[in-house]
Amino acid sequence: MKTLAQKFESTGPKRILALDGGGIRGALSLGYLKHLENHLRKQHQNDQLLLSDYFDMIGGTSTGSIIAAALAIGMSVDEIKQKYFELGTKIFGKKYKWFKIFEIDDLLKAKYDDKALVSELQNVFGDVLLGDQEKIKTALVIVAKRADTNSVWPLNNHPKGKFYDTEKGDNRSIPVWKCVRASAAAPTYFLPQSIDVGGDNSFAAFVDGGVSMANNPALQMLMVATLKGFPYHWSMGEDNMLVVSVGTGMTKWKRLPKKISKNTLLNWASSLPDMFMQDASWQNQLMMQWLSNSPTSIEIDQEVGILQDDILTDEPGRKKGLISYLRYNVILDVDELNTRFKPSKPYKQADIDDLAAMDNAKNCQKLFDLGYQAGEQEVKLSHFPDNFKI
């Protein structure tokens, strides 16, 4: 197996795993990841292989950052599943109490008390720092949004990073649990997270990375891996770069024109976050399909289709993309799920609305099972060419 230092190097084929945000729906991602782990173990004839062994970079946003960080410290999918289910039940179980006058200020800012979240993250990650070169097994990218500057921060553990251990910042010394807490500070759900990042303005306030264009962090992580401003400098090319992106389920936006025209200010306010997140996800999907000849491509819209004739390439005349790209996700829609999975008890819209909730911890097993069913159909050994074997 490669060492962490070898994974940081710019030579050889590189493999990136990017995990979406989506609250408790991260359980759905775990269903996919179980298949991914099984396939890679079969390919490498190693039933102990971990995703941190295979991938050179693992990262995520919000709930995706929790799973990504757990994978990066060498946990198996089964281990994470157990911890994740426990964590979900605890963190989405304790709301602020209206009668606690001393917490009234927090009550007006967040739905849930973050004490359980902090406690569980500390339990999982202990004293591991972002710069721990022994306990972290792969390049780790945790996507958060710095609220005081309105900028996306891909916190990462490369020792040559501009903010790793320099006058500009000291990301090296940030506890991993605190990085994850910052990425998962979903507005209205949890309070923002303050972190001492070093440098001139040492304290920074972070909110959930999902309120940026990087709730689906695949494109952001590709930029971290390849742009000159970051320290990795990995090479593009279909045979050089594999990006695997895993979602948390996406709802279908269905609104009748007559109903939209009657929307109130409150209706619009409650709909805007989902609208922005969907826009960001579709834009990421479009860009990644534009860069690749992906076997998992989906129709973006009726104008551009799946972009099969628009692939950006350094080899004109050939359908060979600048990266290899895989995207696994489930559309949370009544017709889609009933047609695709043919459940004994058909889904109704109320079931979909319940599954789509980002804070219903009772759905952990249902979401995992749904992701596992989808992974059974979608994740194929052929998606992982031999040139990306370790």
More confident residue, 270 or 5: 5
Question: What pLDDT shows up at residue 105?
Answer: 46
Please check the confidence at residue 377 and state whether its pLDDT lies above 50: yes
pLDDT over 70 (residue 110): no
Read off the pLDDT of each residue in 288-307 and give the average, rounded to a whole number: 93
Instruction: Please state which of the ranges 36-45, 60-69, 170-179 shows the lowest mean pLDDT.
Output: 170-179
Cα-only R_g, the chain:
20
Number of domains in the chain: 1
Give me the residue label for tokens 């109130």. Answer: 264
- Let me know if 208 is a catalytic residue: yes
pLDDT value of residue 227: 97
Classify residue 364: in a domain, yes or no. Answer: yes
Say whether pLDDT at 350 is over 60. Answer: yes
- Kindly report the length of the chain: 390
Q: What is the pLDDT of residue 270?
A: 53
Residue 348 lies in a domain: yes
Is the residue at 274 inside a domain?
yes
Least confident of 88-102, 185-199, 347-361: 88-102
- For residue 106, pLDDT beyond 60: no
In terms of DSSP bridges, do strands 14-19 and 241-246 run parallel, antiparallel, or are they unpaired? parallel
Alpha helices in 95-168 (DSSP H): 104-107, 115-125
Q: By C-alpha distance, which of 235, 178, 210 is closest to 56? A: 235
Predicted local distance difference test score (pLDDT) of residue 182: 86
For every residue of 243-308, DSSP letters joined together read EEEE---EE-----HHHHHT--HHHHHHHHHHHHHHHHHHHHHHHHHHTB--TT----BTTTBT-T
More confident residue, 361 or 194: 361
> Which amino acid is residue 297, in one-letter code?
S
Q: Span 118-140, mean pLDDT?
A: 94
Q: Say what percent of the chain tops pLDDT 90.
A: 61
Does position 181 have pLDDT exceeding 90, yes or no? no
Residue 195 has pLDDT above 80, yes or no: no
390 found inside a domain: no
pLDDT of 259 reads: 55
Which of 29, 52, 62, 183 is labelled catalytic?
A: 62
Looking at the chain, the whole-number percentage of residues with pLDDT higher than 70 is: 82
For range 162-173, the mean pLDDT:
83
pLDDT above 70: residue 187: no
Least confident range from 61-75, 146-160, 189-203, 304-318: namely: 189-203
pLDDT tens string 19-59: 999 889 999 999 999 999 999 999 999 999 999 999 999 99
Highest mean pLDDT among 188-192, 235-239, 272-276: 235-239
More confident residue, 370 or 169: 370
- Quickly state the pLDDT bin for 163 (edges 50, 70, 90): confident
Which of 69, 100, 72 minimizes the C-alpha distance to 87? 69
Question: Catalytic residue at 279?
Answer: no
What is residue 368's DSSP assignment? H
Residue type, 20: D
What's the pLDDT tens digit per position in 238-295? 999 999 999 999 987 665 455 556 665 556 555 666 677 788 888 999 999 999 999 9
**Mean per-residue pLDDT over the chain, rounded:** 86
In-domain check, residue 258: no
Residue 102 in domain = no
Q: What is the CATH number of the domain that holds 72?
A: 3.40.1090.10
Single out the catalytic residue among 20, 170, 208, 359. Answer: 208
Strands 139-146 and 57-61: parallel
Higher pLDDT, 315 or 250: 250
- As a whole number, mean pLDDT of residues 319-341 equals 94
Q: Is residue 70 part of a domain?
A: yes
Residue 371 lies in a domain: yes
Host domain of residue 120: 4-94+108-252+264-383
Residues 6+ apart with CB under 8 A from 315: none
